[in-house]
């Protein structure tokens, strides 16, 4: 069982927002975790970890590069050149005012926060947030003053629509930016000792601080599900993230009720709300996920344990995700020389389509006519979205990349790829592809390109897709079917390498150093597993930006001039900034590679996920050369 991808995005963005690493005893009390009220659906806690101090130098180097390139100044100058003199003066005035507002912030203390907590909950009609950061003395108050100064600027520019007030919540005095009447939130900052507090709701912040000041109260991190999940996870050393899907579901329902009340008795709105309710009911199948982050040597590691709600086993999400084929021997899919790979059991969209075709006309009967017309069109062209496409491809995929053999026009070597999609009806898909190719070949431009699909000798069921332009970009696309999978590749060699390993005659990735370096034990079937060479991808992106920055302005200048066309000069100037951006991007190559694996958990409806990121070890410090001078007598 796997977590929905959009929820994973929420967790990742929230962890990034916290912005610090951590180390903790998962059962200790008296820290900022106590400030997480049970009512939140997301709680992220992090604390500095000395084991990762060496990584700070990498980020300091990035910041140094940003400053040395003066990229921000150059970008601002580019914008100013498009503005009138008065607008430039106003922009500079705003920039100077904001700079002055934060002039006395002790940024070294702010960025070195020892603890950070972020919590979120929904209160109709919006979502509210609280952030608490524990800093060295003076850091919290300096940041709060800077934000208060920013509030002043907003009030002065609002023409009387905004005001700044002082209010107390949780025993802490807050500076509040009061928005126009009816606004569902009011940003506020406060300081509790050495703890900086930012919130969008004073009531929420007051509740959070009440839990912080009374550690005997059970916080979100003392939820019984957290205790259960920790039995299946390593100790949290860097951060701990608790996503409560059940709480989020309840809070979404309150949002729906708010919309229903606002809509009054409007029948059309009621039907839309009914459909929204049904969708939320079906997708709200996730109970919780707990993620802990820890450090081993030069590895940033995380482990997650999650579970689906009891009683949702026959629901829509279960039909889409719970019946997918796991990869029993995943390593047999990945050749030893693969530079990147991703295996996923995916999501079956057929149940969702079937559900929509039943529910939509039941809520909107007038939609039936349009659905009937859609069905008639599918009959006429003999191509059915559900029967031919969705049911033919249940969702399982394998994606492989290999080092290329030819130089890339943007530096380095090109790459080759192969992709497998499980296909339950290969004969029908082959017939559709052949029909589509015949239609394409009737097009005059396609004829000029020499587009064709030619069977490959010695590989039954495989064909090469030919086109004159493919040679210019260095690819020879291949498509075919093998053992219930549709196979596509940029080059025949990539497909052959994958099929050879799958047949058992080639070495697999588990024999490679790139796998062994992760010290990641993977036993049994996997729902998904992926590997990415981040450092190489970063360098390739930097190379691409560098080349585009050199070639782009010249290519844009060569474009045909049109008196009524857009001014291309801004585009040229933007392209000229790319080599500077390239210098900054390249500095991120200290993040060497990442591997992640998801498997079914020990309990029904549960899953576990492990992720490891390899970080470049710091360069050894150079010892001063021994003096060769003779000692003085």
Q: What is the DSSP string of 305-362?
A: EEEEPTT-TTSHHHHHHTTPPPBTTGGGGSBTT-SEEEEE-----HHHHHHHHHHHHH
Please state, in angstroms and rounded to a whole number, the distance separating the CA atoms of residues 6 and 3: 9
pLDDT at 7 exceeding the cut of 70: no
Count other Cβ atoms within 10 Å, centred on residue 304: 25
Biggest distance spanned by C-alpha atoms of the chain: 106
Taking phi first (over 0 means left), then psi (-120 to 50 degrees means alpha), and beta for anything else, what does residue 122 get? beta
Please state, in angstroms and rounded to a whole number, the distance separating the CA atoms of residues 111 and 403: 39
Give residue-wise pLDDT tens across range 311-330.
898 899 999 998 899 999 99
Residue located via tokens 């190719």: 437
The mean of the pLDDT values for the chain is 91
- Based on its alpha-carbon atoms, the radius of gyration of the chain, rounded to whole angstroms, reads 29
In angstroms, the Cα distances linking 524 to 233, 329, 598 are 18, 8, 11
- pTM metric for this prediction: 0.89
Two tokens, residue 435: 């029909």
Q: Do 453 and 463 contact (CB within 8 A), yes or no?
A: yes
Give residue-wise pLDDT tens across range 523-574.
999 999 999 999 999 999 999 999 999 998 888 888 777 767 788 888 999 9
The helix-helix angle for 85-101 and 71-80 (nearest 10°) equals 150
Smallest CA-to-CA distance from 130 within 40, 193, 26, 9 is with: 40
Two tokens, residue 42: 């997301």
Q: Average pLDDT for residues 233-251, to the nearest whole number?
A: 96
Strand-pair category, 591-600 with 606-615: antiparallel
* Residue 156 burial by Cβ neighbours in a 10 Å radius (0-12, 13-18, 19+): exposed
Of the pLDDT bands very low, low, confident and very high (cuts 50, 70, 90), residue 620 is confident
Give residue-wise pLDDT tens across range 454-508.
999 999 999 999 999 888 788 999 999 999 999 999 999 999 999 999 999 889 9
Count other Cβ atoms within 10 Å, centred on residue 379: 10
Q: What is the pLDDT of residue 471?
A: 80
* Residue 9 burial by Cβ neighbours in a 10 Å radius (0-12, 13-18, 19+): exposed
Q: Name the E strands within 4-55.
A: 42-47
Smallest CA-to-CA distance from 302 within 618, 609, 629 is with: 609
Of the pLDDT bands very low, low, confident and very high (cuts 50, 70, 90), residue 622 is confident
Q: Do 115 and 31 contact (CB within 8 A), yes or no?
A: yes
């Amino acid at each position: 069982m796997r977590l929905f991808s959009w929820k994973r995005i929420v967790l990742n963005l929230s962890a990034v927002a916290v912005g610090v690493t951590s180390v903790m005893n998962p059962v200790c009390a008296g820290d900022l975790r106590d400030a997480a009220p049970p009512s939140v659906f997301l709680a992220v806690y992090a604390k500095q970890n000395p084991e990762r101090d060496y990584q700070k130098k990498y980020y300091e180097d990035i910041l140094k590069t940003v400053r040395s390139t003066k990229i921000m100044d150059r970008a601002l100058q580019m914008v100013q050149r498009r503005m009138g003199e008065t607008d430039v003066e106003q922009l500079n005035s705003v920039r100077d005012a904001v700079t002055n507002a934060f002039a006395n912030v002790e940024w070294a203390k702010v960025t070195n926060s020892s603890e950070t907590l972020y919590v979120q909950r929904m209160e109709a009609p919006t979502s509210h947030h609280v952030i608490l950061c524990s800093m060295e003395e003076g850091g919290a108050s300096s940041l709060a003053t800077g934000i208060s100064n920013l509030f002043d600027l907003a009030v002065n520019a609002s023409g009387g629509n905004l005001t700044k007030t002082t209010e107390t919540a949780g025993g802490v005095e807050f500076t509040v930016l009061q928005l126009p009447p009816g606004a569902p939130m009011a940003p506020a900052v406060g300081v509790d000792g050495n703890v900086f507090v930012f919130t969008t709701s004073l009531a929420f912040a007051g509740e959070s601080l009440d839990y912080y000041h009374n550690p005997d109260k059970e916080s979100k991190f003392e939820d019984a599900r957290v205790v259960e999940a920790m039995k299946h996870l390593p100790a949290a050393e860097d951060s701990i993230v608790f996503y409560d899907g059940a709480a989020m579901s309840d809070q979404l329902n309150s949002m729906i009720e708010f919309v229903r009340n606002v809509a009054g008795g409007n029948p059309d709105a009621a039907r839309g709300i009914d459909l929204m309710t049904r969708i939320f009911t079906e997708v709200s199948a996730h109970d919780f996920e707990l993620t802990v982050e820890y450090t081993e040597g030069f590895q940033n590691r995380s482990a997650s344990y999650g579970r689906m709600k009891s009683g949702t086993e026959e629901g829509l999400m279960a039909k889409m995700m719970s019946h997918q084929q796991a990869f029993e021997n995943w390593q047999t899919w990945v050749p030893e020389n693969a530079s990147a790979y991703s295996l996923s059991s995916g999501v079956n969209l057929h149940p969702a389509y079937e559900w929509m075709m039943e529910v939509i006309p039941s809520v909107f009967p007038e939609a039936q006519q349009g659905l009937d017309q859609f069905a008639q069109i599918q009959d006429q062209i003999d191509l059915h979205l559900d029967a031919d496409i969705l049911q033919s491809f249940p969702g399982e995929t394998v994606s492989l990349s290999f080092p290329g053999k030819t130089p890339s026009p943007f530096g380095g070597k090109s790459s080759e790829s192969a992709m497998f999609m499980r296909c339950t009806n290969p004969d029908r898909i082959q017939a559709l592809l052949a029909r589509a190719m015949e239609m394409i070949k009737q097009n005059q431009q396609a004829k000029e390109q020499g587009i064709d699909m030619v069977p490959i000798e010695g590989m039954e069921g495989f064909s090469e897709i030919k086109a004159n332009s493919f040679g210019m970009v260095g690819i020879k696309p291949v498509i075919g079917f093998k053992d219930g999978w549709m196979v596509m590749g940029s080059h025949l060699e990539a497909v052959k390498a994958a099929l050879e390993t799958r047949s058992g005659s080639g070495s697999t990735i588990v024999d490679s150093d790139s796998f062994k370096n992760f010290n990641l034990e993977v036993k049994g079937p996997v729902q998904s597993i992926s590997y990415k060479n981040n450092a190489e991808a970063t360098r390739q992106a930097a190379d691409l930006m560098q080349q585009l920055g050199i070639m782009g302005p010249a290519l844009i200048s060569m474009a045909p001039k049109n008196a009524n066309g857009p001014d291309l000069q801004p585009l040229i100037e933007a392209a000229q900034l790319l080599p500077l951006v390239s210098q900054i991007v390249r500095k991120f190559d200290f993040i060497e590679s990442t591997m992640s694996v998801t498997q079914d958990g020990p309990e029904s409806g549960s899953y576990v996920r492990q992720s490891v990121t390899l970080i470049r070890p710091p360069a050894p410090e150079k010892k001063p050369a021994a003096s060769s001078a003779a000692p003085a007598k």
